[in-house]
Structures are given as C-alpha cells and as structure tokens.
Amino acid sequence: MPDHRDNPERIVVFGDVVDDVVVVPASAIREDTDTPSSIRHRAGGSAANAAAWMGSLGASVDFVGLVAVEDVARHSALLAGNGVTPHLLGDDELPTGAIIVIVSGERRTMLTEKGANAKLTPDAVTDRLLTGAAVLHFTGYSVFSQPDQSSLRNLVQRATARGVRISVDPASSGFIMDFGVDRFLESVEGAHLFFPNLEEGRVLTGLDDPIHIAERLGERFDVVALTLDTAGVVVVERGMPTTVVAAVPVAIVDPTGAGDAFAAGFLAAWVSGAGAMAAASAGARAGALAVSTIGGRPRP
C-alpha cells in the first residue's frame, strides 16, 4: 500500500462507509400500492463520500473505516477507484452500514442502519497515519456512535500534537438533537474547521439568521463554512470579515452527498494553500458536481 506520510497536503478521513439505495420517485409516493421510481445502488457514507470527492479532486487521502468482513475488498476497490488510499477493517458479526435515501427535489429522507460503523472507534486511526498529515476530517456520525467520548478526545489530542488540523462536518441535525447540543459541541472541542448546513447550524446555536449562526460558531472554530444550498455559503474565518460565497447554478438531480463534496472541495483547496473564500468557492463547485448525478460520490 502506498505510503503518503511525507506529503504535507495529505488528508486523513475517519468514519462511516455504507451501501446507499437511492430512490427518486417519479411522483408523490402512493401508500399501499406501487409508485414508479428510479432506484440506484451506490457506495456511500458521509465520511467515505468526502474522501472519494477529495481523491477525485487530486488530494492525497487516507480513509479509515469499518465494513462487514466480506465487503472489505469491494469497498476498498471503490475508494481506490476515486484515488483514495483505503484502510478498511472488517467485522465478522455486523453487516456493512446501509441507508435508503428517498429523494424529493432538493429534499431527502434517509432510513439508516449503522451496521459495522457502530463498532468503529477513533483508536483505528493510528499515529503512523497522523504523522505528516495536514488535516484529520471526520463527521458527526463518528461522534454519535461513541458511547464514551474519551477515545475521540484522545484522537483529537494525538492529531493536534502532531500539527494536524481537525475538520468536522456535523452531518445530521436530527442525530445532534438526539445526542444533545452541548454534548456534541464538547465532543468536537479543539476542531479548527467546521462545515454545518443551515439546519445543523440552527440546532447548534438556537439562532435563525445564517450570518448570526456562522458568527456564533466562529467563536468556537477557526473557520466556519455554513452551507445554504442554492443560497451559497457563509464563511467566517477568525480575524477576517464575514463573507458570503455564491452557489454554482446547476440542475439538481440528487442532493445526496452535496455537503460531503463541499467539505472535500474546500479541504482539497485549503491544504493546497487556498484561503477560506477561495476554498469555499472550490467547495461550491464540488457540491454542484455532486447534486448533478445520482448518489453521493463521483463516478470513478
């Protein structure tokens, strides 16, 4: 397996990998009978999607995750096809995580089974992988699945001690509410870059206005990029004026993975030396690519 530890722009991604079933009904769903639909099977998982987009954009990426033991080779090959160096572990008891995604315009309903993801711990990210990396990225799903947050705090400390910046995508407003806002924010304390969408930002701050939300979160994180779907991105960088970056106009086919692609585009640009505004523009371009196709990942 290639050793990228000497690459100062390398990104380590840790977290969920799933099998998506993406359903796009041709009309409103009719109960107790058939509704014609487009149904596609895709590899997914918020963290794995982000890694795949990073790799497709030319970033050097290592991904750490957990799937059913019989799926290790398949998911490793899919990640490698997008330019990712996979470090997948196999579980011989639980199935690979799965999500049914029902798409309606810009909205999605997701039915989720964590599967093997529930047993992935931050200890799976080794010091060897962290050494020489620029960024460690994970999502809220890796926070929600940890009954004891000490392992996650230890990972953040190990990464920070090596000069690695911490990037977090909160991932799910519903799971944040279940987990607890204060508990979530405490769990991601020490992160440097934060990528919430508007609904997640509202849950985390109790505020409604996007500018106010981003600036409130900016009191905790060095860089906040609050995504607003077609309204663009609010960017708050410590010591800099708050800015709004426009979205890229595109026909939306499936919004699955748009936030993952945004974070990927942002980080791929940021580790290459782009400022926060330029990185947000790169993220917006990646997000536009994501919504123009079915599924949460770029096609290999």
Residue 191: the pLDDT is 96
Three-state secondary structure call for residue 197: strand
Q: Is residue 157 part of a domain?
A: yes
Q: Is residue 38 part of a domain?
A: no
What range does the domain containing 50 cover?
11-16+46-95+116-291
Residue 145: the pLDDT is 82
pLDDT, tens digit, 9 for 90 and up, residues 22-37: 899 999 999 999 999 9
Burial of 51 (0-12, 13-18, 19+ CB in 10 A): buried
Q: Is residue 191 part of a domain?
A: yes
CATH code of the domain in which 144 resides: 3.40.1190.20
Between 8 and 261, the more confident residue is 261
pLDDT, tens digit, 9 for 90 and up, residues 172-205: 999 999 999 999 999 999 999 999 999 999 999 9
Cα–Cα–Cα angle for 256, 261, 266, rounded to 5 degrees: 155
The pairing of beta strand 97-104 with beta strand 233-237: unpaired
Residue 256: the pLDDT is 79
Q: Is residue 24 part of a domain?
A: no
What is the percent of the chain with per-residue pLDDT over 70, rounded to a whole number?
Answer: 97
The pairing of beta strand 18-25 with beta strand 11-14: unpaired
Q: Is residue 216 part of a domain?
A: yes
Q: What separation in angstroms does the CA of 282 have from each of 91, 155, 213, 232? A: 36, 28, 22, 12
Residue 284: the pLDDT is 96
Task: Round to whole Å and give the CA distance between 98 and 113.
Answer: 5
The pairing of beta strand 223-227 with beta strand 233-237: antiparallel
Residue 252: the pLDDT is 87
H, E, C per residue of 67-95: EEHHHHHHHHHHHHHCCEEEEEEEECCCC
Residue 25 pairs with which residues in a beta bridge?
Answer: 37
* pTM of the model as a whole: 0.91
Measured in whole angstroms, the distance separating CA 59 from the mean position of its chain's CA atoms is 15
pLDDT, tens digit, 9 for 90 and up, residues 220-255: 999 999 999 889 999 999 999 999 999 999 988 888
Both tokens of 46, joined, read 């918020």
Q: Is 5 a residue whose pLDDT tops 60?
A: no
Residue 203: the pLDDT is 98
Burial of 282 (0-12, 13-18, 19+ CB in 10 A): buried
Q: Is residue 37 part of a domain?
A: no
Mean per-residue pLDDT, 142-152: 87
Q: What separation in angstroms does the CA of 6 have from each of 64, 113, 176, 188? A: 18, 37, 36, 27
Q: Is 149 a residue whose pLDDT tops 90?
A: no
Between 146 and 1, the more confident residue is 146
The structural domain count of the chain equals 1
Backbone angles phi, psi at 31, to 5 degrees: -75, 145
Backbone angles phi, psi at 209, to 5 degrees: -75, 130
Q: Is residue 1 part of a domain?
A: no
Q: Is residue 248 part of a domain?
A: yes
Between 266 and 230, the more confident residue is 266
Choice among 4-8, 44-48, 87-91, 98-102 with the minimum mean pLDDT: 4-8
